[in-house]
A and B are shown apart, each in its own frame.
Chain A
């Protein structure tokens, strides 16, 4: 047992003797499966508690759990981004929020709660979008843990971290740990950008929300869901034109519910309720505290193991189904060579400042090992030359005579696609 120190003697960063009694057991000694490179003792503790900077994306169901876990694990410099405010339906699982917090930004309330509960931890909230932040911002972190419910946000975060990897700078590789839940099911995965399979690699594994044929909705409704989609997909734009539907506005839901219920009555269909209307138009996914706890714990456990090397880390996908007994499956999700984010090929090309776009294209078609037929070229912000359709070819044709250096900065990137290439090719252009 560690010596008991009186609370008044708490040392710097709010620590007190015995505080890390539990965690230090795995930091003072390796286990049978710990990598030999693990340096037990003060060094690893210092890194974890004084140097490691970790970013949490999302302060919702998973985010609240992630923040609490990281704080207890001894991470002291935690940042959190969330663009949402607290809703009453969050309170059944987002345990850092209370009734009085409804309407407040999640990131801010969560950060304050953690700092109050766990002494010495600094949580820096950002109430806004992940897209507001630039590469320099993401570069400051050692690790990123994602607890998001949006596919789009995940794709963005994943692509950003893959793109951040700079071959000359080891610090640029930020492990991304991603979690997700649905009812009693969930998954956690470790993504080492460019080294392991990324989020985009597994995009086709995702379940799509149920969509109904539009003619069924329009003419042959059979289910209450068909009536609700009629209200939201066809009637809303017809009646309200360009007015945006706000699925968080009870008046909007009320209108949709009324319209759907009337249609259901007309067709003798049972089962249109307020809850179902809300569920269909918001694509609500059931969520409970316990599943979030499991998945967030799995994510933070990986963050801890990666930060400390105290044990092997997940390679690379853990999925859990708790509906019938406890079933889980841990497997390696393979990288996809044609992945538009982490796959494809990258070629460094050094050309003179006078080199024209046309010559560059010629060079690509003649390159023995690539042999690209009819390549189309663009930079992240504009098209350089597109082979088709005719209008775009004509619009970009004047660029053929231009010098590449007029269009691409030194060290800049050019994306090449062609029908003969199953993936995209990226060129890094430097000038001689």
Chain B
């Protein structure tokens, strides 16, 4: 490519040097989702997989590719001909007779040089008995098709330590599957919510209000007139409205209609896009609350115990400072976000407005930091985390998890769920029954039904969807179908990534999958 007169050689060379390094290029398509912070969290994670089934290796494949730090497969079994037929991370007949964990680790390792893999040739039962603490050294533990008794032991072990690893329990048979995640608390700062932060149109900060009230729309040059940002137009229109309506914003439907008319009446030409935007965004003048209820409800959460994991403690410190901010700082809103959406205006007006928002956001951050410093542990929180928290504080999420098995011990909840989500609950119960049956028993519809009645009670009537669930499980109780395992592999890896990166929102409950009719559902 030859160089044009518009650009000198030096400039072009500098540009080329800005090309990202090989690692960034490799991970480009995922960095666009979870950025460097998410990637760092993945690379620091250590995952333990219990048994190297087709489903387990499918899950791991989707975690090794994006670059977790380490994985261990715990499996004492040797590869059978049956294993070699349905597991992509075994080499067909060549793997038969070798240790299953060894083979899987070797083949999974080929996917990404940056990931460390380890095979441990021991059974889960042995490890639980001899060195249970070892299991706690991981970030996340994933178990596929273990018997209920073993899962119970694992669950007890991992639950006793509040800062201990999360546990994903995965079950599958033929076309059906389910999984659930055991965790104490899970706080998400970057929820990647679609909701945008407040622009503070109803509670304009002084410089914004000043800017809006200083405008003289009637004397403005037509070009400038058609480039006043809608945010400014709305602040101004609302201020003028309040003056004539006893300080109140539009409340009733006719008032809202009237308010929009006053905006439209300010147009000097038919097609002024900024005024059209203002009319379309006018709802912000009456729907914006000071603090989203999802956020204010978090202020009421009890303080976590000191043994909680560091992330939970840090999040709580941030939340405490945030609550303090909203209580003490006028006008009792969340700190202002510096993010300004695009709007129809000139470059100059936009950059000016952006500066106003950035300046105010900076002041709010300074105030927030002062408050944070007074909260135990607050002073140690890094600036990056504070920035991320303030940027996302309108959409932060806290999930309060439950111990594995809690749902099945709650007959009332099960009875309700059977009515509200019959197909999901039926499949879930069928799996509970399957994993409770002794391993040497061949499950039948009768034995599964009896086991479920043991869980929900003898007098509960089971819905017709239940017949579908037990029928399907009795048909193929030990089938780890390639597509079911791949589907689960994807879903469980998505959840694992969400848990590890603490971005996006994981499930809280049981996710049930039916690949006969192809649906999924979450119950809790």
| Chain A interface residues (CB < 8 Å from chain B) | 1-2, 4-5, 7, 10, 14, 16-23, 25-26, 29-33, 65, 68-69, 72-73, 88-89, 91-93, 95, 98-99, 117-119, 183-184, 188, 219-223, 235, 239-240, 249-255, 257-259, 261-262, 267-269, 273-275, 278-279, 284-298, 300-302, 304-305, 311-312, 314, 318, 320, 322-328, 330
Contacts and interface: CB of A to CB of B under 8 A. Distances in A.
A284 B20 contact: no
Contacts of A324: 191, 193, 504-505
Nearest to A324: B505
Contacts of A95: 61, 65, 111
Contacts of A221: 347
A251 B14 CA distance: 11
A98 to B, nearest CB: 7
A69 B486 contact: yes
A117 B92 contact: yes
Contact of A73 (B113, B483, B519): B483
B467 interface: yes
A318 B518 contact: yes
A302 to B, nearest CB: 7
Interface string B79-94: 0111011101001111
A312 B486 contact: no
Nearest to B176: A31
Interface in B327-350: 342-343, 345-347, 350
A290 B491 contact: yes
Contacts of B487: 293-294, 297-298, 301
A326 B507 contact: yes
Nearest to A256: B15
Contacts of A33: 468, 471-472, 516-517
Contacts of B175: 26, 31, 301, 311
Given A26-B479, A288-B66, A290-B491, 13 more contacts: A7-B96, A21-B85, A25-B476, A31-B476, A88-B25, A95-B111, A222-B347, A254-B12, A258-B12, A275-B24, A286-B29, A298-B483, A312-B517
Most A-side CB within 10 Å, residue of B227, B505, B516: B516
B84 A19 contact: yes
B481 A92 contact: no
A325 B524 CA distance: 12
A288 B68 CA distance: 13
B82 A2 contact: yes
Interface stretch (B1-9, B231-239, B240-248): B1-9
Contacts of A32: 467-468, 471-472
A250 B25 CA distance: 12
Interface stretch (B30-38, B44-52, B369-377): B30-38
A275 B20 contact: yes
Contact of A302 (B12, B477, B508, B518): B518
Nearest to A240: B4
A68 B80 contact: no
17 contacts: A1-B82, A16-B85, A23-B85, A23-B482, A33-B517, A69-B482, A89-B26, A93-B65, A117-B92, A220-B346, A258-B7, A258-B11, A259-B7, A286-B30, A286-B32, A289-B493, A298-B518
A226 to B, nearest CB: 8
Nearest to A288: B30
B484 interface: yes
A261 to B, nearest CB: 7
Contacts of A98: 110
A292 B478 CA distance: 26
A320 B521 CA distance: 11
Nearest to A249: B1
A323 B192 contact: yes
Contacts of A99: 113
B62 A330 contact: no
Contact of B1 (A251, A278, A296, A325): A251
Most B-side CB within 10 Å, residue of A26, A279, A285: A26
A267 B521 CA distance: 49
Contacts of B446: none
Contacts of A252: 1
A85 B505 CA distance: 35
A212 to B, nearest CB: 9
B479 A25 contact: yes
Nearest to B493: A290
A89 B507 contact: no
A258 B7 CA distance: 9
Given A89-B25, A267-B347, A301 B518 contact: yes
B494 interface: yes
A257 B516 contact: no
Contacts of B25: 88-89
Contact of B29 (A20, A26, A188, A287): A287
Contacts of A300: 482-483, 486
A297 B517 contact: no
B19 interface: yes
Most A-side CB within 10 Å, residue of B111, B471, B518: B518
Contacts of B484: 297, 301
B205 interface: no
A221 B351 CA distance: 10
Given A255-B1, A293-B493, A311 B516 contact: yes
Contacts of B467: 32
B515 interface: yes
B28 A275 contact: yes
Contacts of B477: 25
Given A95-B61, A220-B347, A293 B32 contact: no
A207 B24 CA distance: 28
Contact of B494 (A274, A286, A290, A330): A290
Contacts of B19: 250, 253-254, 274
A184 B142 CA distance: 20
A21 B478 CA distance: 9
B249 interface: no
B26 A92 contact: yes
Contacts of A117: 88, 91-92
Contacts of A223: 342
Contacts of A16: 81, 84-85, 93, 96
Contacts of B93: 7, 10, 16, 119
B180 to A, nearest CB: 11
A286 B35 CA distance: 11
Contact of A183 (B33, B174, B191): B33
B494 A184 contact: yes
A326 B66 contact: no
Nearest to A182: B33
